[in-house]
Structure 1
Amino acid sequence: MKRRILQAGQATLAVSLPMPWVKRFKLKKGQDIEVEEQGSSLKIKTAAMTEEDSAALNVSSLHPISTKIIGLLYKAGYKKIKALYSPNKTVIHRGKEVKEIDMIKNTFDHLIGMQLWELGKEKNENYAMVMESAKVNPKEFDNTFNQLYLHLIHQAEQVYEALSLNKDIFDEAYLAERLINQTADFCTRILVSFGHEEYKKTLQYYNLIDNLETIGDRYFYIALEQHENKTKINKEILEFFQKASGFIEESSSIYRKFDFDKIKSLTKELDETIKSYEYKIRKSKGKENLVSYNLYSIFLELYEIIEKLYFLNYDYFKE
């Protein structure tokens, strides 16, 4: 629907609210409402709608996906998340046996801008609740996204070096993946709450964040495989790992400062690398291990990242 902008004072512009919406939420003159910027759009919320910013889930019944759902609720923008749990119950979480409440606390600690607010019991059910402690600021997106890239670059270099030296770095990889996931989730929370300042790019940023986080997961699985099975990596595969690390760093550089010649060159080199790696896989006749599979997945995610970098710079092609 269209609304005409009105002059409501010497330095104030106003837009009227649709009456059916006003009546639905029983709004009155002088009542406060929430107004949030979402790129080129504005989102208006009543107090009643703001109350919907809380969510609850039963961790026991949803395990092993419960922590993922907590993360999804956080990314969706909820300001309060209540997790119901069973006292003294133990679960397997990220390869370790822990108490359910400790798993919840660990997951809550992962949520940037949130803090554990309350532990209690309601209707004979124990719960832990986390609450937003700092408002999400859309101006934080660019710095946070760049930080996500830096975490991933560090992780890629870390895993490559460890494989070269046949070194177990599971604990370091675990922390690196946690940083990547934390930063990716916070970026997504900003986008869900406000969109990107260039709103047409919002969806591409969602997907780009997912690509970067997925690469981080793949590197973690590689470190996990090395930790559990002491998989030896030959020199040829190590060279592919070195290329992957370089591709990530180069794509980050192009993201920060778009260069058409550089992205063309990177696209070509990545395409040739993927074809070369596919040939190696076919030649191995199914003898490849999980490390090789995850490395191949990293190359495919990188190619998708390149496609999104073209989109984010669509103005370059404007006549």
Structure 2
Amino acid sequence: MNRKILQVGPSTLAVSLPSSWTKKFNIKKGEELTLEEQGNSLRIKTSSPIEEESAKINVSLLHPFSTKIIGMLYRAGYKKIKAIYTPNKTVTHRGKQLKELDMIQNTFDHLTGMQLWELGNEKEYYATIIESAKVNPKEFENILNKLYLHLIHQSEQIYNALLNNKDSFDEAYLTERLINQAQDFCIRILASHGHEDHKKTLHYNNLIYKLESIGDKYFQIALSHHKNKEKINPETLQYIEKAIAFIKESISLCRKFNFEKITSLIKELNESIKNYQEEIKKQETKSTLISFNIYSILLEIYEIIEILFFLNHTYFKE
């Protein structure tokens, strides 16, 4: 939308706002707006409350994707989510048998800043959550740090279990939930407010999804070991240990960029990927799923390093 600049008095310039905006954002005469520079753009912000966005989902019709869609609606910034369900219906969720309502409540419980508001039965049975705490963009770095720490804890947890041939499924299940919770909240912040450096919003979004994806793959490793009880060979364990070291190094570089360290990490990571390709060819078929997930983790760490370069693009400015 283009708007003409108007001159008001000898030294004051003004721009008019379209009525559709003033209605949507509840802007009144005399109210103060906040203007912020974003590169070659200006961003206008208002503190006026706007009508809360709400969403409705029929969980019964959309299972097994329903919980993922609830998470998507939360990440998109919806402040009220209504879930329609079938009473006493049992479903399989994350490897467990649950009543549909219990599955909904379990999903709701992991949405930071939301609370169960209403359980009802009018024309249909429903459960509704609403936002209980406003999203604070200043929390982003802290939650991202928690996401990284949960991922490191999960990777070490699973590595130690495999090293000692122990079942870590229950612990991995809980840790993966913490990873998803932190990821969801980070994305909700970015969807609602963006990053303070607007150029980095998309790339932080990609970084967070990569970290969550790595967590999913570690969970699949724990699940495969839980089901098949296979003993992991020392070579495979070696690459799981390497992946943990690479993740730790990436969080260090995310906090404080260092060109020498990141280039050294790229070389070591690239060499590990090539060597593991050869290692996979030697393995038996029964280990294929675990090997695939380890290989995928190494590739995703490599992609995270690429994202870190963009997040620190100013290093290359002349």
Match of 1:65 in 2: 65
User: Within 5 A, what are the aligned runs for 1:58-137?
Assistant: 58-122=58-122, 124-137=123-136
In structure 2, distance between residues paired with 1:76 and 1:61:
21
Q: Is the 8 A contact 1:170 1:223 kept in 2?
A: yes
1:142-168: CA deviations, max 9, x gaps? 111111111111111111111100111
Q: Is the 8 A contact 1:170 1:227 kept in 2?
A: yes
User: Within 5 A, what are the aligned runs for 1:152-301?
Assistant: 152-284=151-283, 288-301=287-300
1:33-91: CA deviations, max 9, x gaps? 998989763356987x624x100000000000000000000000000000000010110
Report the CA distance between 1:232 and its aligned residue: 1.0
Report the CA distance between 1:5 and its aligned residue: 9.2
Report the CA distance between 1:276 and its aligned residue: 0.5
Report the CA distance between 1:279 and its aligned residue: 1.4
Match of 1:50 in 2: 51
Q: Is the 8 A contact 2:25 2:48 kept in 1?
A: no
Match of 1:41 in 2: 43
Q: Is the 8 A contact 2:34 2:44 kept in 1?
A: yes
Q: CA RMSD in A?
A: 2.9
Amino acid in the other structure paired with 2:76: A
In structure 2, distance between residues paired with 1:283 and 1:224:
23
Paired residue secondary structure (2:17): coil
Q: Is the 8 A contact 2:195 2:201 kept in 1?
A: yes
Query: Which stretch shows the higher mean deviation, 29-38 or 240-249?
Result: 29-38
Unaligned runs of 5+ in 2: none
Alignment TM-score, normalising by the size of structure 2 = 0.90
In structure 2, distance between residues paired with 1:307 and 1:83:
39
Q: Is the 8 A contact 1:33 1:46 kept in 2?
A: no
Q: Is the 8 A contact 1:38 1:197 kept in 2?
A: no
1:143-198: CA deviations, max 9, x gaps? 11111111111111111111100111111101110000000000000000000000
Report the CA distance between 1:231 and its aligned residue: 1.8
Unaligned runs of 5+ in 1: none
Paired residue secondary structure (1:197): coil
Compared with structure 1, are the counterparts of its residues 169 and 313 closer, same or farther at alpha carbon in structure 2 (3 Å cutoff)? same
Alignment TM-score, normalising by the size of structure 1 = 0.89
Report the CA distance between 1:241 and its aligned residue: 0.6
Compared with structure 1, are the counterparts of its residues 59 and 318 closer, same or farther at alpha carbon in structure 2 (3 Å cutoff)? same
In structure 2, distance between residues paired with 1:62 and 1:302:
32
